[in-house]
Structure 1
Amino acid sequence: MIARLHATSFPKPACAAATWCSPTARRRIPSSRSRCPNVQRLFTKHCSARKARLMRASRVPLAPKPAIINGAETDSPLRTLQLPRTLLTPQLHEVEMALVDPKLKGVTPEYVRERLSLFASEMLAGLSSLKAQAPKSLLLTEMDVSISNPAGVCPTHMLAVYSSRPTTTTTSPRKVTLFPTHQLVLAAHGANLPALPASSATHTSRTSATVAVVPLCLPAPAAFPLLQSYLYTKNAENLSNVLFPSSTSPLDKVALQRHMGLIHGLWADACALGVVDEACGCC
């Protein structure tokens, strides 16, 4: 579910305006005394043509690049992707459960994570059976949803995930993806997770409920579904198979770039949220 929101609804990262060249980078033109008139005319003609090409190129409008949502790739040409050779292991601190819920004061986060795994199937049933109508212009603080499986555990929040990258123009709409979630699952694993408002999940009937909507800025929104799925299932083998699929034939450039981008995006999101999980770090 994607809601197109105006860029002014979210904070904009500052970015410097692009420039074609600087005065210090321009080619020095030797004195005319050191060249004959023919060479001088050819050199002047060459510089004029080069300047005209740059002026034409600078007037080409920059079209916004299509956003990649939930891992769906668009038919765009291969772009240069700069990634580090190694992904550093961030220095993480453990989750303080008393900050998540005062009632959990004195309870270790390891115990909470262990107990959550016992209810994984019920919580996943609540996520998969949730349906909602995404807003088209304005993101509300609460959202009415319908639940097709009343046996599942109703999510407590709806995350409005958007990219931390700045939009191409100030008037470009920002892509936002809605993800239902259970607060305790994310809070018990993410030491850097921003404080979520108190859950307002209320059942108006057996098949409908109202949940809070919380904006969440991440480096790679397309990789968040994979990360959240792992936090629920804790299936490191499935995560490893997605990140490192076995293939008898080498991947082409587009598939390889997409795959590397997913790995880097998962790592970036985990670092941003401060995910405390040894198996996830090993993958």
Structure 2
Amino acid sequence: MVLTRNTPNSLLQQNKENALLKRTRLGAKHHYKHSHSSSSSSPAITKSTAPVRVTRKPRSRSHLSSSPLPTPSPRDVRKRVSGSEPEMVDVDIDMDMMDVISATPSSSRPAIQLPRTLKKPTFQPINRHAFELLDPELKGVPTDYVIDKLRLMGRGMLQAACTSTAQPPSNRLPRELEVMINDTTNPPPTHVFAVYTQNKKVTLHIGHGIVVAAHCTSLPPLPTPEFDPELSEGLKRSLPVVPLSLPSPNTFPILLGYLYTKQPQSLLNALLPPSQPSLTLSNPHASSSTPTQSNLAQTLARTYTTQALLAHAARVHGLWANMVALGVDDEMIWKIIHFVWGILINALELAAGGAQ
């Protein structure tokens, strides 16, 4: 179904809007997973709700690609956040140290230090040139209009990605990867994002460059795919591979899924542990200091161990770090990040105090 809106009676403008629906062919993250294997043979593909995983560890950035994109490293994330050092919260807990949280050893138990708030840096504007390169027909189409169309087409894009399949690379990540397109009723994917961090396995996400380019201000222009508007079922097409070095590869699917669907409640459910009664984000402007959020923090502190709460805090922190590294300047996701982080910090303080 073609989505329309009130636009000026300009044939040129109408042609540009039609081009967005016809040629951009937007998509979402891929839901296939490579089973991990310690042998030297290629891992098999198994159907899963997780994205494709390549279990081979990169020896270096050049091992992934001869010309990887200069994306921010985890060390760059702190440099992106300007201003004074954030207020820290000490949580005494008997647990193993976590990758994303620094631990200061004490005489008996480590004291985990967490920032009171997760700061949002100042981002550059969206690079118009980046997604105009992906589809020249988008030249002159307002950025907000492009993003709004992406949101409206999100469910169909997710369906197209879920039914696409890819063969894992045998030894190293190629410049292009062959993908089988099985859904021709929705926009087919255009890129394969190879997400990794140092000394970690690579995760492949089949998606659409226009979605990433329209939301991530820190990325350079993506490689331009070959467009074929006359796709038939079962068609194989070679998609460019985009290496992305991110602080938290495990939370990239959460971020990518939100950028496609823009569903705040789904994001909230992914970041907070289940609670009774469940939390509904009816007011996105609410803060963690309101009675409802305060009560939820108390409920979580009574229900979950500090280890479980820290695991969720690590997930939120990882998502935040990816957003800073990629330059995601979406107002709603930042409100949810601050909303959830405040609840978890309060719950951790209550849980740690009760344990003592």
Assess same fold via TM > 0.5: yes
- Aligned-partner SS, 1:158: strand
Give CA-to-partner distance per residue, 1:202-235, whole Å, 9 cap, x none: 5885213221111111110000000000000001
Give the Cα–Cα distance (whole angstroms) in 1 for the partners of residues 184 and 141 of structure 2.
30
Mapped pair 1:175 → 2:183:
no
Relative to the length of structure 1, the TM-score reads 0.68
Give 1:112's aligned residue: 146
Instruction: Please state how far the C-alpha of 1:119 moved relative to its aligned partner.
Output: 1.7
- Aligned-partner SS, 2:153: helix
Give 2:126's aligned residue: 95
User: Which of 308, 321, 325 is equivalent to 1:255?
Assistant: 308
* Pairing of 1:1-283 with structure 2 (within 5 A): 1-3=52-54, 4-8=56-60, 9=63, 78-80=96-98, 81-82=101-102, 83-101=114-132, 103=136, 104-163=138-197, 166-167=198-199, 174-200=200-226, 205-207=232-234, 208-248=236-276, 249-283=302-336
> Counterpart of 2:116 in structure 1: which amino acid?
R
Give the Cα–Cα distance (whole angstroms) in 2 for the partners of residues 206 and 107 of structure 1.
30
Contact 1:223 1:265 in 2 (8 A): yes
Give the Cα–Cα distance (whole angstroms) in 2 for the partners of residues 230 and 95 of structure 1.
18
Instruction: Give unpaired runs (5+ residues) of structure 2.
Output: 1-51, 76-94, 103-113, 277-301, 337-356
- Aligned-partner SS, 1:179: strand
- Aligned-partner SS, 2:123: coil
> Counterpart of 1:185 in structure 2: which amino acid?
V
Give the Cα–Cα distance (whole angstroms) in 2 for the partners of residues 264 and 189 of structure 1.
19
Give the Cα–Cα distance (whole angstroms) in 2 for the partners of residues 188 and 14 of structure 1.
22
> Counterpart of 1:7 in structure 2: which amino acid?
R
Whichever of the two has the greater Rg, that structure is 1
- Runs of at least 4 residues off by over 6 Å: none
Instruction: Please state how far the C-alpha of 1:155 moved relative to its aligned partner.
Output: 0.5
Instruction: Please state how far the C-alpha of 1:201 moved relative to its aligned partner.
Output: 5.6
Distance 1:204 1:241, change over 3 A: closer
Give the Cα–Cα distance (whole angstroms) in 2 for the partners of residues 205 and 235 of structure 1.
31
Instruction: Please state how far the C-alpha of 1:93 moved relative to its aligned partner.
Output: 2.5
Distance 1:110 1:187, change over 3 A: same
- Aligned-partner SS, 1:255: helix
**Residues 264-273 or 108-117, more deviating:** 108-117
Give the Cα–Cα distance (whole angstroms) in 1 for the partners of residues 311 and 195 of structure 2.
20
**Residues 146-155 or 246-255, more deviating:** 246-255
Distance 1:237 1:204, change over 3 A: closer
Contact 1:161 1:178 in 2 (8 A): yes
- Aligned-partner SS, 1:87: coil
Give the Cα–Cα distance (whole angstroms) in 2 for the partners of residues 87 and 259 of structure 1.
14
Contact 1:158 1:180 in 2 (8 A): yes
Give the Cα–Cα distance (whole angstroms) in 2 for the partners of residues 278 and 256 of structure 1.
25
Relative to the length of structure 2, the TM-score reads 0.55
Distance 1:209 1:14, change over 3 A: closer
> Counterpart of 2:53 in structure 1: which amino acid?
I
Distance 1:14 1:179, change over 3 A: closer
> Counterpart of 2:179 in structure 1: which amino acid?
V
Instruction: Please state how far the C-alpha of 1:246 moved relative to its aligned partner.
Output: 4.2
Give the Cα–Cα distance (whole angstroms) in 1 for the partners of residues 53 and 126 of structure 2.
31
- Aligned-partner SS, 2:203: strand
Instruction: Please state how far the C-alpha of 1:236 moved relative to its aligned partner.
Output: 1.0
> Counterpart of 1:158 in structure 2: which amino acid?
V
Instruction: Please state how far the C-alpha of 1:152 moved relative to its aligned partner.
Output: 2.6
How large is the Cα RMSD of the aligned pairs?
2.5
- Aligned-partner SS, 2:201: strand
Instruction: Give unpaired runs (5+ residues) of structure 1.
Output: 16-76, 168-173
Give 1:171's aligned residue: none
Instruction: Please state how far the C-alpha of 1:251 moved relative to its aligned partner.
Output: 1.7
Give 1:19's aligned residue: none
